[in-house]
Structure 1
Amino acid sequence: MPTLNSWMVLSHAERRRLKKKGIVAMDDPAVTSKVDGDSHGSIVAQDTRDDAISKKRKQSTGNDDTSTDPISSKKRRRKRPRSKKPHSRSLTPSPITSISAISTGHISVTPQWLPSSAVARIRQDAEALRTAGAFTQSAIGGREGESQKMALRKRHSECCGLFDDAEAVGKDVGDIRIRDALMRAIADLRGTLSATVQPLADVMELQYLYYPGVGNGFYGKHIDQQHHVPVHRVISMVLYLNDEHWNSSTDGGALRAYPSPAHPPVDVDPAGGTLVLFDSGKLLHEAKPTQRDRWALVGWFMAAGSA
C-alpha cells in the first residue's frame, strides 16, 4: 500500500481509480487527499487548473465560430477601404462671375478662379519654358513673323504657344502634369461659355505671356479681333499667374478696359488666379506698364464653324 506523504488535488476520475485500489475513499474531499507513488510508478493527479483549462477547451471546440487550429483560429483582419483622394491631375476652378457681361461688351472678372498653389505651379512651368528658349517676342495680334511686326511704342512682351512652342522644347521641360490639368480646366470653361454665351469651336489659341518689369512691359490700347488676324476670335481670356497680393498702384501692370464712352475705364489688378473674360471684337483694353515681371496665360475662343 503506498504511503500518503504529499498533498495533491485529485479529479473524480482519479479518486474512482484509487478507490478501486483501496488507496482513497470515494467520499474523501479531493483537496485533502495525499498520495505517493508505488513500486510500479507514481500516481499523478490532475490539478484543478487543468480541469478548468480542459473545460474551456471543450466549450471552445463546441463553438462553430472558433477552431483549435492555431492558424485557423486567428482573427481575419478586414481591409480598410482606401480613402479616395482627389485626382492629382485635375483642377477645381471657381464659378465664373458676371458671365453675362461678356455679351454686352463689358468685362467679366473672377478673382481666385484657380487656387494659389495651382497658379504657382503654372507660373513655374512658364518660367521653365522661357529658360529653355520657348518664348519669342510678341507681335501685335500674334507672334513676330506671323502677323504685323511688333512696334516697341505699341507692345513689349514675350509669348509661348502651348500647342506648338511648348511641345517643341520637349516633354522633359516644365511641368507637363499641371499643363495637362490646365488644358482640361480650359476645355471645361469653353464648354460653359459655349452653352451660355455663344457656340464656340473646339480649337482655340493659348499662350503664356510675359511682360518684363521696371516699366518695360506693356501693351497699348487695342481690340483682340483685328482684320489681319486670320481666325475669328470671339471671346478673350486672361488668367494671371502673378503674386496674389499684386498692387497696381505701386507695381503697375493693371489691365485697363474701356467698355464704352459712356462708362469709365475699369482697372483690374493682375493678381494671381484672377480670370478675365471679354468680347474679343468689342472691348478696347490695354496693359499698363509694369514695375514687376508680369505673367499671364492668354487665350482666344473661336466662333463655331470658323476654325
Structure 2
Amino acid sequence: MFKFKDQTDLIEALATQAWVVIPEFLKAEQVLQLRTQALSQYAAGRFKPAAVGQGSRQAVHADIRRDAVLWLEDHETGVASEFLNWLADLRLALNQALFLGLVETELHFAVYPSGGFYRKHIDNFRGSSARLITVILYLNQAWQPQEGGELRLYLDDRTLDIAPEPGKLVLFLSERFEHEVLPTQQERLSLTGWLRRRS
C-alpha cells in the first residue's frame, strides 16, 4: 500500500520528540491520484475558503490564513480510502502503545494559491484539546526551494522548516508546537487533518 509500513518507529518518534517526518511515504502514482482527485473538486468549486475559530466566532480572515479546504467523507475510495484506513490503524496502535484515547480522524484537502500562507498558530480551538496529533501529507508534483510554502515548526530550542515535497508525511503533537505555513510562490496542495480524542 504505502512505502512506509512499520508503525513502531513512528510511534517511538512521536513519544520521544513529538514530531516525525517521513519522506516519500506515498509513491508517485499515489500522489498523482490524490492530486487529481483534489484538483478536479477544486476546479468544480467545491472547496471553501478556510476559516479560523469555531461556532459563532468562525470567520474567514485572509490576513491570518489564505487557503481553501474540502473535507473528506467516510465513503472515500482509492488512495484516499487506503490512507484513512492506515490512519485508523495508526490511531489504534497509538492508543495501545501510549494510551492516548484517540477516537476519530478528521481530514481535508487544502489548497494554498500562489501567495497563500497561514500565520503562526496552534491546532486547537480555544478551550479545546480534542485535536491531539496533526497529520499532513503533501500532494505537490515537485517542489523547489525558491517556491516557499514550507511548514515551520517552532520546536523547543529552534525552528524546523519542512519543504512540502511530494508524498512526504508529517505528524506532530498538535498542542505541543506552534507552527505556520510560510508564503508560497506556487500552488501548494496537501491532505491535512487530525487524530482526535473526545472534547
Q: TM-score, normalised by structure 2?
A: 0.87
Counterparts in 2 of 1:98 and 1:297: CA distance versus 1, 3 Å: same
Query: Retained in 2: the 8 A contact 1:100–1:197?
Result: no
Corresponding residue SS for 1:100: helix
Q: Percent identity?
A: 32
Q: Residue in 2 aligned with 1:115?
A: 27
1:199 aligns with 2:100: yes
Within 5 Å, give how 1:51-130 maps onto structure 2. Answer: 91-94=1-4, 95=6, 97=9, 99-103=11-15, 106-130=18-42
Counterparts in 2 of 1:108 and 1:184: CA distance versus 1, 3 Å: same
Question: RMSD over aligned Cα, in angstroms?
Answer: 2.4
Q: TM-score, normalised by structure 1?
A: 0.58
Q: Residue in 1 aligned with 2:159?
A: 265
Query: For residues 150-173 of structure 1, what are the alpha-carbon distances to aligned partners after superposition, in whole Å with 9 as ceiling and x for unaligned?
Result: 221110000001028xx7xxxxxx
Query: Retained in 2: the 8 A contact 1:135–1:160?
Result: yes
Counterparts in 2 of 1:224 and 1:183: CA distance versus 1, 3 Å: same
1:246 aligns with 2:147: no
Query: For residues 52-101 of structure 1, what are the alpha-carbon distances to aligned partners after superposition, in whole Å with 9 as ceiling and x for unaligned?
Result: xxxxxxxxxxxxxxxxxxxxxxxxxxxxxxxxxxxxxxx23404555434
**Counterpart AA for 1:252:** G
Query: Retained in 1: the 8 A contact 2:88–2:105?
Result: no
Q: Residue in 2 aligned with 1:149?
A: 59
1:227 aligns with 2:126: yes
Which segments of 5 or more consecutive residues in structure 2 lack a partner in the other structure?
A: none
Query: For residues 117-169 of structure 1, what are the alpha-carbon distances to aligned partners after superposition, in whole Å with 9 as ceiling and x for unaligned?
Result: 11110111111111222210001257xx77531221110000001028xx7xx
The separation in 2 between residues aligned to 1:274 and 1:198, in whole angstroms, is 27
Counterparts in 2 of 1:133 and 1:265: CA distance versus 1, 3 Å: same
Deviation at 1:104, TM superposition (A): 5.1
Aligned pair partner of 1:158 in 68, 75, 79: 68
Query: Retained in 2: the 8 A contact 1:107–1:259?
Result: no
Query: Retained in 2: the 8 A contact 1:253–1:288?
Result: yes
Which segments of 5 or more consecutive residues in structure 1 lack a partner in the other structure?
A: 1-90, 168-174
Deviation at 1:242, TM superposition (A): 0.8
Counterparts in 2 of 1:264 and 1:289: CA distance versus 1, 3 Å: same
Which structure: larger Rg?
1
Aligned pair partner of 1:277 in 165, 168, 171: 171
**Greater RCO (Cα-Cα under 8 Å, separation 6 or more):** 2
